[in-house]
A and B are shown apart, each in its own frame.
Chain A
Amino acid sequence: MTPVITADHMTLRFGQFTAVNDVSFSINKGELFGFLGPNGSGKTTIIKALCGLLTPTEGTGTILGMDIRKQAADIKQHVGYMSQKFGLYEDLTVEENLGFYAGVYGITGQAATKRIGEILDLTGLQPYLTRRVSQLSGGWKQRLALGCAIIHSPEVVFLDEPTAGIDPVARRSLWDLFFQLSGQGVTFFVTTHYMDEAERCGRVGYIYLSKLAALGTIAELQQLPQANPAGTARVQIEIADASSILGSLRTMPGVREATIFGRSIHALLAVDQIDAVKQKLPQAKIETVVPSLEDVFVTLTLDIMKKAGQ
């Protein structure tokens, strides 16, 4: 299968600051690729580079086989982009926003009417056609923003934190839309802060301090050696008063990480200390578990921070 999006040792520097450091990956047609990382880690910069807005300092990338260095103008016709800022005109109606974006992609007349009809069916925005965007709820704005971003039927869609600040129901229905389009062969590149959203993605990349720290399916990430250091075990401790135990647990020998997860504690323990912990907490039910995606990213981050500190 030919990759739709590739990054090949991509580095972007702004003066002294390295925003993206030697990042490589490859995404296939119809994939829903999740991209995680804290604010300022370089997520948006990578998207802008892949859309041809920023030229990499070193390395390169391709979209549908087109080189981002040389064919930036062509790439724009094949790529959709939606950011958390929506990019909608609040004083225009739903119809006018769709019409405007159709126009700037060069879609006019009959073709525009037809395509806007398709978008309205897909997003369910038909009843709000003549309503101004300022009167729509966050969820509907998001659907309209997506509609505007795919008005030109792009093969690749970049979503930069698309669900920041909307309610869970609207979030879920938006993701259903992503899956529907992805099923039709559209490739998605989604950045997010939400672990549950990342877990919906087929594959996930994690960027930290401008470097790609991990890349793979959820199962692959859970098996990563960095996430499961040798001689340690990920355990779930079920105990009546989890939050008051947490402090003393963290000071026990052999406890690397410990955090509250619902009514229990997730901890990374040295294998040879498990029995000692069990003895100290006789009333607790302790069992080994597979690390959650959050566990993986926290362990990876601490690992990188420790190495950077040395």
Chain B
Amino acid sequence: MSGLFFGLWPICRKEFTHIVRDPGTLFFALLLPLIQLFMFGYAVDTNVRQITTAVQDESKTQESREFVAKLAASDVFQVTEHVESDEALYGAIRAAKVRVGVKIPYDYARRLQSETTATVLVLVDGSDSTVAGQAVNGATGVALTASLARVVGSAAVIEVRPSVLYNPSTRSANFFVPGLIAVLLQVMIILLIALSLVRERERGTLEQLTMTPVKPLGLMVGKMIPYGALGFGELCVILAIMRWVFKVPIHGSWLLLLALSLPFLLTVLGLGLVISTKAKSQAEAFQLSMGTVLPSVFLSGYIFLTENMPLFFRGVSHIIPATYYIQILRGIILRGAGFGDLWQQALVLTLMGTAAILLAAWQFVRRQRG
């Protein structure tokens, strides 16, 4: 290949040889993401059930026991302790023996019978916001149902029947594993390609290459092909594990999923190249690569909804490639979305990737010229 991409094929071939000769890197590249996939895939579960609960029942009446029984029957709470004083109730939460404390005052039954509002105090350990949210919802739900039942008689209670589309069992794996693919692929590819270029700089072979007719784009794209292929292979393995180990069904087209992964691969490869032109040492390249992980986890919509973020961070989420790829992944895997729904995301990623490669090539030339 000549012109702008001169030197592409020799570089590409040489890079494949490097990969094959270095089993350590290959191991790191292929196995580590899989280990992480299993770790996170199994560990992360946001559906909170059976929250440990302490009950302080001062009322000790038929009505209060009924209420506690309803709490326990709700699947949200699991009554593990009965205490007799305020101190014991607070103490149990502070010591993290329970996450929720329920106090039923001595006048609970009397107030109910005299048709005034009865109160139940629910103390929630707020140190885990997910648990706290579920506990408050659960307790309110139980109380509401109980109240309605008293007012209208047990038969005619309104029951909300939510129907969750696309992920009907609201399994965490279905939600988290597709997003995890983006993060794992990104770390692996950015790190590998950045290290490969910085290594050449450290060993002086890059200096030698600058003396040859190899063009910056030939060097960059020549390096992208092998690491892109490696990333694509890894993607296939991860998808297979997702489908058959975590049993996440893919509702959309496999082919579209693989095809729309290419723009993301392009972008992270470009990002790795940009990092390699900035980093002075392998250690620095490693740090910079790792620095891209947290924003991609927290600001991409992987864990937290971008819609709820302050304006600034919502803006930031728009320049994070993982944001778009996670939309593509969840779209195809969970909702069965087609190309018509996702072409914008693919376009943005393609533009980002192209820009990153050009930036890297420009930086490379600039740096070379001292």
Contact = CB atoms under 8 A, between A and B. Distances in A.
Interface residues of A, number: 27
A104 B11 contact: yes
B210 A91 contact: no
A141 to B, nearest CB: 12
Given A14-B370, A85-B204, A87-B208, A73 B213 contact: yes
B208 A81 contact: yes
A101 B208 CA distance: 10
B161 interface: no
Contacts of B6: 106
A85 B211 contact: no
A151 to B, nearest CB: 10
9 contacts: A54-B370, A81-B208, A83-B208, A87-B207, A89-B18, A92-B17, A92-B18, A100-B13, A104-B214
Interface in A241-267: none
Contacts of B7: 103-104
Nearest to B205: A87
Nearest to A101: B212
B14 interface: yes
Given A53-B211, A83-B204, 19 more contacts: A51-B211, A55-B369, A76-B211, A77-B213, A81-B208, A81-B211, A85-B203, A85-B204, A87-B205, A87-B209, A89-B18, A91-B17, A92-B14, A96-B14, A103-B9, A103-B10, A104-B11, A104-B209, A106-B6
Given A100-B10, A103-B10, A91 B213 contact: no
B366 interface: no
Contacts of B208: 81, 83, 85, 87, 148
B22 interface: yes
Contacts of A96: 14, 17
Given A76-B212, A104-B209, A91 B203 contact: no
Interface string B1-28: 0100011011101100110011000000
Contact of B213 (A14, A53, A76, A100): A76
A89 B210 CA distance: 15
B368 interface: yes
A174 B263 CA distance: 50
Nearest to A80: B211
A103 B204 CA distance: 19
A90 B17 CA distance: 12
A88 interface: yes
A54 B21 contact: no
A87 B211 CA distance: 10
A103 B13 contact: yes
Contacts of A90: 203
Contacts of A79: 211
A105 interface: yes
Interface string A66-103: 00000001001101010101111111100010001101
Contacts of A76: 211-213
Interface of B: 2, 6-7, 9-11, 13-14, 17-18, 21-22, 203-205, 207-214, 368-370
B54 to A, nearest CB: 63
A105 B207 contact: no
A83 B206 CA distance: 12
B207 to A, nearest CB: 6
Contacts of A91: 17-18, 21-22
A14 B370 CA distance: 8
Contacts of B18: 89, 91-92
Nearest to A86: B204
A106 B13 contact: no
Contacts of A53: 210-211, 368-369
Contacts of A14: 370
Pick the 7 closest A-B CB pairs, nearest first: A87-B208, A85-B204, A103-B10, A81-B211, A91-B21, A104-B212, A104-B7
A83 B207 contact: yes
B14 A100 contact: yes
B348 to A, nearest CB: 34
Given A53-B368, A54-B370, A101-B212, A89 B204 contact: no
Contacts of A51: 211
Contacts of A54: 369-370
Contacts of B210: 53
A118 to B, nearest CB: 19
B344 to A, nearest CB: 39
- Which of A79, A85, A88 has the largest number of chain B CB atoms within 10 A? A85
A89 B205 contact: yes
A14 B367 CA distance: 13
Contacts of B14: 89, 92, 96, 100
- Which of B7, B13, B207 has the largest number of chain A CB atoms within 10 A? B207
A91 B196 CA distance: 13
A91 B200 CA distance: 12
Contacts of A100: 10, 13-14
A199 to B, nearest CB: 28
Contacts of A87: 204-205, 207-209
Contacts of A148: 208
Contacts of B205: 85, 87-89
A53 B208 CA distance: 11
Contacts of B212: 76, 101, 104-105
Contacts of A104: 7, 10-11, 209, 212-214
A79 B6 CA distance: 17
Nearest to B218: A104
Contacts of B370: 14, 54
Contacts of A85: 203-205, 207-208
Contacts of B11: 104
Contact of A92 (B21, B203, B204): B21
A51 B210 CA distance: 10
A53 B216 CA distance: 13
Nearest to B369: A54
Interface string A139-169: 0000000001000000000000000000000
A93 B28 CA distance: 24
B330 to A, nearest CB: 40
Contacts of A81: 208, 211
